[in-house]
Amino acid sequence: MTLIPRWQTANIEPKRKFKFLLVMGGVPAWVVKSAGRPNVSVSEGAKHQFLSHEFKFPGRVTWNDIDITLVDPIDPAMSLQMFQIVEDAGYKIPDT
């Protein structure tokens, strides 16, 4: 009996710089083509003058939006779930 190394099996794919997996709830759901990094914005806060010193305090911290390009669902049922999330967010999918 000849053992085949794991990297030579037919069901494994090599790592690629242009493909990522989006995992929802511990389950791989989508193949992602591109994704932005999360970052924050800090608004200008209050300025206080005390004698000859000026103190600046930061304002509100908000997370910026992340853009993700989804390519293929790993499970075909995930595409229906994504459509449901988009509809629940308020987007009306045209039917005509």
Answer whether residue 89 shows pLDDT above 70: yes
CB 35 within 8 A of CB 21: no
DSSP per-residue letters across 12-39: -----TT-EEEEETTEEEEEEEEEPPP-
What integer best gives the mean pLDDT of the chain? 80
The per-residue pLDDT for range 44-62, each reduced to its tens digit, is 888 888 898 998 888 889 9
Torsion of CA 66, 67, 68, 69, to 10 degrees: 180
* 21 bridge partner residues: 31
- The answer to whether 23 and 31 are in contact (CB under 8 A) is no
What pLDDT is attached to residue 63? 92
pLDDT at 15: 65
pLDDT at 39 over 80: yes
